[in-house]
Amino acid sequence: MLKHEAINGIKNIFAKTFGESGNIIVSRAPGRVNLIGEHTDYNDGFVFPMALDFQILVAARKNDSETVRIYSSDFDQTVEFSLKQPIQYDQEKRWSNYLRGVLVMLQEKGVKLCGMDIAFQGNIPQGSGLSSSAALEVATVVMAQKLLGFKIEKPELVKLCQRAENKFVGMNCGIMDQFISMMGEQGHALFLDCRSLDYKLVPLELGDCRIIICQSGVKHTLVDSEYNKRRQECEQGLAILARHFPAIKALRDAKMEQLEALKSEFNPVVYRRCKHVITEDDRVLASMNALSRGDLKSFGQFMNASHDSLRDDYEVSCPEIDLLVRLAREVRGVLGSRITGGGFGGCTVSLIEAKAEAEFSEHIRKNYQTTTGIIPQIYISTAASGAAIIA
């Protein structure tokens, strides 16, 4: 969607809901796809996401009251709450908790809120591992900063959005999603050290290759419970490693030799979880290296290895996703394909030669539907820019 069309679209929605008058501002924040580095963020490790062309748009205006009114265009629902009382979690209109959470965390930072009208809409597939939730938080905080004029630096805003999701929404996610949504840059992917939050914008020079995302259309209910279980298993493994090697403060610090040396102390499941995290960090570094040499073939192979590790060692894939990956790899011109996001459904990300695009889409559409009965959504996205005020 063109920028001015997007702005007009959300402004019209706002005006229909809250009236025309006054100065309406508009923020945007993108979803993301993680190219490599899965389940490493909460282990202080490395990730390599890029921002997508898909985004959340938020339009807002002060309303000279103590009331916040929020309209979700996609759900066609409104919530309203007073700032005279503490902001509460909403059991019914759960979409509102992402915005409520951000406002609560701003209050905790000492920001004085005021009444405002907010309308938002998005085109990021929801609940598919492309981080519509982080985009919603980041678009909200960017809007709030413009409307209220407080001074908080971007990295702090990123952490604030993560806290909103961890503490208010109750999803124990790492920092990656909010970080890339805020800091992404057009034509670049972002290498992030999740410990120091040092980052590097890396030009994504894909030449004749493309990034393709396939949405499986499934989201298995185990996501949250299994996610928390994985985190605990990482903690268990870390405790053993740290007992022998005190310099290991997170799995990011561990080497495969160290894990191997202690293998007999590990239960096999925890061993495999740690193996995934340690090798995945290595793969992120190696794939960055490959990219800097223009070696996309190796980059694709690291993506493949990442998937296999997530499937076999971390066990966060599922039959539908494994099928998408297998079908992708059957197409000539596909350099790599893997699950992306938390797991148990959601999306795959593939690196393919542009000339293979038509065959790729046809092969996946036909065979995925035959086996699963689900029509997969297939998206091509370039690396988009991060959050901004656009009007």
Provide the b/e sequence for 3-22 (b: ≥16 CB within 10 Å).
eeebbebbbebbeebbeeee
| Cβ neighbours around 125 below 10 Å, total | 18
CB of 136 to Mg ion, least distance (A): 9
Q: Please say which residue, 60 or 130, places its beta carbon nearer to ligand ADP.
A: 130
From residue 158, how far is each of 29, 133, 282, 362 by CA, in Å? 12, 13, 26, 39
Question: Between residues 75 and 89, which has the closer beta carbon with respect to ligand ADP?
Answer: 75
Would you give the DSSP letter of residue 221? Answer: T
* Min separation Cβ 166 and ligand ADP, Å: 12
Cα–Cα distances in angstroms (integers) from residue 327 to residues 1, 35, 296, 339, 350, in the given order: 30, 19, 20, 13, 11
Residue with tokens 């001015």: 4
Phi/psi of residue 209, each to 5°? -105, 160
Instruction: Answer yes or no whether residue 94 interacts with ligand ADP by CB under 6 A.
Output: yes
d(CA 344, CA 379): 20
* Chain residues 44-63 in contact with ligand ADP, contact rule CB under 6 A: 56
Residue 24: CB atoms within 10 A of its CB come to 18
**Which of 26/124 has CB closer to ligand ADP?**
124
Site string for ligand ADP, 64-93 (x = CB under 6 A): --------x-xx------------------
Least Å distance, CB 369 to ligand ADP, is 23
- Residue 319 Rama label (left phi>0; alpha psi -120 to 50; beta): alpha
Picked from ligand ADP, Mg ion, none, the partner binding residue 336 (CB below 5 to 8 A depending on kind) is none
**Of 33 and 356, CB closest to ligand ADP:** 33
Q: Which stretch binds ligand ADP (CB under 6 A): 120-128, 238-246, 258-266, 372-380?
A: 120-128
**In which residue are the tokens 């065979």 written?**
367
Tell me how far CA of residue 16 lies from CA of 21, 62, 376, in angstroms.
Answer: 11, 16, 34
Among residues 44, 177, 253, 313, the one annotated as catalytic is 177
| Shortest distance, position 227 Cβ to Mg ion, whole Å | 11
Cα-trace Rg, the chain: 21
Phi/psi for 374 (5° steps) reads -110, 135
- The secondary structure of 162-217 as a DSSP string is HHIIIIII-----SHHHHHHHH--TTEEEEEETTT--EEEEE---TTEEEEEEEEE
> Cα(44)–Cα(194) distance, rounded to whole angstroms?
5
Choose one: 122-130, 250-258, 321-329, 356-364; the region binding ligand ADP (CB under 6 A).
122-130
Site string for ligand ADP, 125-164 (x = CB under 6 A): -xxxxxxxx--x----------------------------
Nearer to ligand ADP (CB atom), residue 49 or residue 129 = 129
Binding mask 113-142 for Mg ion (x = CB under 5 A): --------------------x---------
* Nearest position to Mg ion, beta carbon: 133
Q: How far is the CB of 95 from ligand ADP (least distance, A)?
A: 3
> If binding is defined by CB under 6 A, does position 294 make contact with ligand ADP?
no
The least CB distance from residue 13 to Mg ion, in Å, is 23
Classify residue 198 as exposed, middle or buried by CB count within 10 Å of its CB (0-12, 13-18, 19+).
Answer: exposed
If the CB atoms of residues 133 and 216 are measured against Mg ion, the closer one turns out to be 133
**Region from 2-10, 119-127, 234-242, 373-381 binding ligand ADP, contact rule CB under 6 A:** 119-127
Give dist(CA 17, CA 180) in Å, integer.
Answer: 31
179 near ligand ADP, rule: CB under 6 A? no
Instruction: Tell me the site size for Mg ion, rule CB under 5 A.
Output: 1
Residue 347 binds which entry of ligand ADP, Mg ion, none, with Cβ cut-offs from 5 to 8 Å by kind?
Answer: none
What residue is closest to ligand ADP based on CB? 122
Tell me, yes or no, if 224 is annotated catalytic: no
Site residues, ligand ADP (CB under 6 A): 56, 72, 74-75, 94-95, 98, 121-122, 124, 126-133, 136
Site residues, Mg ion (CB under 5 A): 133
Catalytic residue annotation: 177
